[in-house]
Structures are given as structure tokens and as C-alpha cells.
Amino acid sequence: MAVDITFKDVAYTYQAGTPFESQALHDINLTIAEHSFTAIIGHTGSGKSTLVQHLNALLKPTSGTVTIGERKITPETNNKHLKPLRQKVGMVFQFPESQLFEETVAKDIAFGPMNFGMEATVAAKKAAEMLTLVGLPAELLERSPFDLSGGQMRRVAIAGVLAMAPEVLILDEPTAGLDPAGRREIMGMVERLHHEQHLTVVLITHRMEDVANYADHVVVMEQGTIAKVGRPQEVFQDVAWLQARQLGVPETTEFAARLQQRGFKFDQLPLTEAELAAALAPQLPREVVSQQHDE
Amino acid sequence: MMNKLLLGRFIPGDSLIHRLDPRNKLLLSFYYIGIIFLANNWLTYLVLFFFTLFAVYLSNIKMGFFIRGVRPLIWLILFTVLLQVFFTRGGTTYWSWGPIVLSQFGIVNGIYIFMRFVLIIFMSTLLTLTTPPLSLADAIEAILKPLRVVHFPVYEVALMLSIALRFVPTLMDETEKIMNAQRARGVDFGEGNLFQQMRSVVPLLIPLFVSSFNRAEDLATAMEARGYQGGEGRSKYRILTWQARDTWTVLVFGLLTGVLVWLRA
């Protein structure tokens, strides 16, 4: 079954009908295609997290329609029978390690699949499989999740979501607070899942390098609505526009933009180091290049 | 979930009631609960009713909030009222079945009890809706101060109270977040039979405990790092001052008491 996700005129208001009501989203029209890798960027409070909570019906729109595969979610949708949907759309929240609660890592990973009706023995096998997938050694299976390091806990939590075998994986800043190595490992894992298992990935991030390296689609959120949608190559061309929104661009792109001011020419601002090198090489004087090779 | 929890919810405003000294408001709220028991006939209840309505009007807060404050207690109120109605004898008896009677006094008593509940809830809702929780904690500290003479740990209790109040919204956010995370893993909160519901609480409570302990430790470290020292000699950021309007409200309550004593049967 294809799981395309479509937002049509979606608005969401927190605490509607009280003096505390605040509009978090308005005029959202968006399609997230199957097998795509969508990055959502935007300022803190721009509505990113609220937006993704509509993807598995944790929140229902105050007006408008969200279509997830064949399910239509409207403001009138009943809260029951959403389970099949939540199995298809796996969600990794910010700091997901706070959702761990079981006595052992194995039990915690098996918790999700068992809620969706998987046999205990099958779920246990699945847990072991998932632990390897997130790059943790099998001997952790019988340990308490609270004995692990922060990075390990996070990977166990992610394994717990992956064990539900979702078709869409939502990650809300999965690398926040991790060291560079941990960050690379998590992002590498997400990339693998996207390529090998053809998961549709939706990633909220503040790291433009991740957007440049992994995403094929970017959504820029601003004050509760979508300010720009496009391929990273398109979105990152307008350096000034992004910086005015305090979002910035990948370091490489920023560097290239500075080179451009000094007279270098780019058809399109490069996003990654490889692209930069390829674009720069023909423009450098030959002697300099050969000299560097000699050294 | 945040929508439902109104009890103890502060609504910012600038009305006369908002500006009263929290110590005064707290003491008068308790005093009001006391003088409600002076009322024993229609006239006195009517006076109290209009007095409360006027206070609500002065606060500039919509009536709906007060009515919603009654809702969580409605079963307790109905239970008490029905006990009164069916087990009080006296006056004309309209109907009876074994020990259960429906009498004139019973009905009148039932209405009085109902009024008493509603008025008390309205007045205490008024207190919590118009007073920031931390001001309330300050007020409690000020009121408990005399107990220092008997070595009651007033400062510590006040600090515990302020911290508890401060973390209510934080814990509620945390609860909501963990509930969402577990919902995404297929937990149905509030569905199924009692046993299933009890089981669904475990994946919520354990993470909450863990994060509360972590938070407590962080808070203690942060307070020590900034050299916190409680007790004697610690100055206050929010200073409570008694104003003329506080004196006036006390006089109005005095007058109300006089009227009630005069009108009661």
C-alpha cells in the first residue's frame, strides 16, 4: 500500500476555545511522497513538531484534511481505530530515550510490535534484529535500558520504533545532544533505512549539513506555515533569504557564497564538499593545483 | 489534556480581585467558607449568592470557567445532596419507601447543601483563577510564619510548595510528551477494561518518575551552584504589600458577616 501523505488547508490551534488558545499551524498544503526523504527546517516555535504530529494522527487538524495513505484525518475523526495508522507511521520524538520504561532492552524494543499484535516470541526475535540494525551489540538485550549511555539509550528507543516495521519514519531532531560520532552513526543508519528498506523519511533538523547530505526534499516552516518547499539545491541557493530567517545554509554553501563574492563562479551553489571541489577545480589556476599535488 | 485541568489554573488579568494581596485573598477565602455556615434560610443564601456573583463579576473572568470548576466535583455534590434529600424527615412528607423519604425539609436541605457546595467552589475557583500559584505559595509562607516559634520548618515547606507548583506545568508537558510517544508505539490510553487501563499507565509512570528524579537532581545542583541558602535572612523577589483596597475588602466581608447574622433564622 502506498503511503503518500497529503495536507490540504490544514490549520491547528492549541487549546481552542480558551483564553490560552494559540494558533500553531495555518494554511498548510503539502505532499510527502512515498519513498522520499523530506527535511523540515525552521525556527524554534515555527510549528515543525506540531506539523509532524499530524502525520500519525497524534494531533487532528482544527480545520482541513490530512490524508495518510487511504486514511483521511479530519477534525471530526474519531480517536479510535488509529492503531493501524500508527503502526505504518513510526515516530521518533525529540529525546526519545525518555520513552524507555521496561526492565530489559529486549522487552522495551518488543513493546511496540506487541501492542500491534505481534507474538511475544516473534517480537523477541525482532528485538534482537533491530538492536543489530541500530548498531548495538546483542549482549545489551538483557540489560536494563537505564544502565546504558545516553547515545545507546537513544538507539534503543529508535530500535523500538523501527521494530513496528513502519513504512514512514518520522524523526524529530534525532541527533540533538549527541557527540559528532553518535550523530554520524544515527544519520548513517537513517540513510541506510531509506536506501535499503525504502522507508519514507521525514526529518526535523537544525543541521543544514544533514539536509544537504541526506534529504531530497526540504520544507521551510515559518510562523506556523510553509515558507518554501523544494529540493535542497533550490532552497539553499538563496543564502540571504535563509539567513534572514536565522536558518543558515550548510557550511560548504556558505563558504562557496563567500568565494562567489571574491569572483569565483558557480552555476549553482554547491551543498557538499564533493560538489564544491568539482565546481572549483576548473576555476583554479593550473600551477596552484599541480603545486598542491607535489607537496 | 491541558484543556481539562482547570483546577489551580491562573488566568492573568488586572481586575480588583487580581490586584488584592494574596494573603488577604487566601485568608478571606477560608473566612468565606466559615461564614457560609451562618446561612440557614433563603434570604441568607440569596445574599451569599449575589455576593459571590458580584465577586465573580469583579474578576472579569467568564462565568464558564467557574461552572467548569464545579464539574469535576459534580458526582460528590449530587451524592451528598441526594443523601440529604432522601434521609431528612420533617415538614410535609411527599413520598416514602422504607427508610427513604421525600420530605419538605429534605428538599429544602438538599438545595441548601447544593448552594453551599457551589458557592464554596466558586469562591475557591475565584482565588486560584486570579492568583498566580507562586503568589499563593508566598501567601501561605507569610501566613505560616508565626509557626516558626514552634520550630515548624516554614521556609522549607514554602520552598517545597513553590517548587511543586512551578513544576506542575512542566510535568504536564512531560506527561503529554511521553503519552504521545507511547501512543505512537501503539498504547491506547483510557481504552479497554480496567485491567488494560491500569497496564497502560506503566509505560507512562516509569518514564515520568525517571525524568522527575533527574530533574530534581539537576535543580538541586543548579541551586547549589548559585549558592542557594534558605531560611533566615533570605530576601524576597516578590514583596507582598497590604493596600487600602485590602482593608476595604476586609470591611466588606465584615459587613457581610453582620448582614448574615442579622438575617439568619
Range of the domain at A85: 5-249
**pTM of this structure:** 0.76
Q: Give me the residue spans of the domains in chain B.
A: 1-131+242-265, 133-234
Chain A contacts of B18, Cβ < 8 Å? none
Based on the fold, state whether residues A90 and A163 are members of the same structural domain: yes
Based on the fold, state whether residues A178 and A78 are members of the same structural domain: yes
**B 184-243: CB under 8 A from A:** 184-188, 191, 202-203, 206-207, 210-211
Measure in Å the smallest separation between the Cα of B208 and chain A Cα atoms: 8
Single out the residue in A234, A249, A264 at which a domain terminates: A249
pLDDT higher than threshold 90 for residue A130: yes
- The torsion region of residue B18 among left (phi > 0), alpha (psi -120 to 50) and beta comes to alpha
Based on the fold, state whether residues A190 and A200 are members of the same structural domain: yes
Based on the fold, state whether residues A274 and A169 are members of the same structural domain: no
Based on the fold, state whether residues A151 and A234 are members of the same structural domain: yes
Phi, psi at residue B220, to the nearest 5°? -60, -45
The predicted structure's pLDDT at residue B229: 82
Based on the fold, state whether residues A160 and A127 are members of the same structural domain: yes
A66: which residues sit within 8 A by CB, 6+ positions away?
A: A5, A6, A7, A8, A10, A54, A55, A57, A60, A72, A73
Give per-residue pLDDT as tens, B172-226. Answer: 889 999 999 999 998 888 777 888 888 888 999 999 999 999 999 999 999 999 9
Based on the fold, state whether residues A200 and A292 are members of the same structural domain: no
The predicted structure's pLDDT at residue B1: 38
Give per-residue pLDDT as tens, A89-120. Answer: 999 999 999 999 999 999 999 999 999 989 99
- pLDDT-derived band at A201, boundaries 50, 70, 90: very high
Render the burial of A26-58: b for 16+ CB within 10 Å, e for the rest: bebebebeebbbbbbbbeeebbbbbbbbbbbbb
> Quick one: what percent of chain B has pLDDT higher than 70?
97
Based on the fold, state whether residues A145 and A269 are members of the same structural domain: no
- ∠ Cα A240 A267 A282 (to 5°): 125
Q: Are B39 and B137 in contact (CB under 8 A)?
A: no
Q: Are A39 and A231 in contact (CB under 8 A)?
A: no
B211–A116 CB contact, under 8 Å: no
* H/E stretch holding A281: none
Say how many domains are in chain A. Answer: 2
A58–B180 CB contact, under 8 Å: yes
Q: Is this complex scored with an ipTM above 0.90?
A: no
Nearest to A26 by CA among A5, A6, A7: A7
Based on the fold, state whether residues A71 and A182 are members of the same structural domain: yes
Based on the fold, state whether residues A125 and A16 are members of the same structural domain: yes
A86–B184 CB contact, under 8 Å: yes
The predicted structure's pLDDT at residue A288: 59
Based on the fold, state whether residues A191 and A264 are members of the same structural domain: no
Based on the fold, state whether residues A100 and A58 are members of the same structural domain: yes
Long-range Cβ contacts of B154-158 (<8 Å, 24+ apart) = B155/B230, B155/B231, B155/B232, B155/B234, B156/B230
The CATH number of residue A37's host domain is: 3.40.50.300
Measure in Å the smallest separation between the Cα of B150 and chain A Cα atoms: 43
pLDDT higher than threshold 60 for residue B2: no
Measure in Å the smallest separation between the Cα of A59 and chain B Cα atoms: 9
Over range A175-199, report the average pLDDT.
90
Q: Rounded distance, CA A100 to CA A108, Å?
A: 7
What is the rounded average pLDDT for all residues in chain B?
A: 88
